[in-house]
Amino acid sequence: MSENKMSERTHVTHEAFGPLYDADSEVLILGSIPSPKSREQRFYYGHPQNRFWKVMAAVLEESLPSTVEEKAEMMHRHHIALWDSLSECDIRGASDASIQNPVPTDIPWLLRETKIHAVFCTGATAYRYYEKYHFPATGISAVRLPSTSPANAAVSLEKLTEAYKMIADMLSKCLKK
């Protein structure tokens, strides 16, 4: 890829796929905006080196899902919704640092459609946009988790799994209610 191509931003929208949720969703996990691989697959965390699905399978004590359908079923079984903080932006590749012209998703709408009462953000960018655009409208504080992106290779799979155990802890509290 030429240097000029790498420096160009693409206008990305979330039209290819919407939030993954159902009326029983209790926890929301937010990314920032779908990566090129995720847009290609029309599903979340689609890059083969992204460790999200390995981490979630370990945290939820499930087998590693391989298909989009298996991933969606695992999230539904555990009452987890997936979406992104942004519905559109201009971005270079998958570089969150290059985001310009961000447009937020409609998190208040999603909360009205579900039982969500806990929000987790997968990385600093998702968290920053949640705090800026969504927290004032929802009043739900988000938990910032480390990114599972291959760009965050400094954080081991073990450390990611340990951090993401908060999600399972929250879900077990929900079941006790």
Residues with catalytic function? 50
Tell me the CA distances in angstroms from 148 to 1, 14, 63, 139, one per residue in order: 25, 20, 18, 26
Reported as half-sphere exposure (CB side, CA atoms, 13 A), residue 122 has a value of: 31
Strands 95-104 and 27-31: unpaired
Cross-strand bridge partners of residue 36: none
- Cα separation, 37 vs 27, whole angstroms: 24
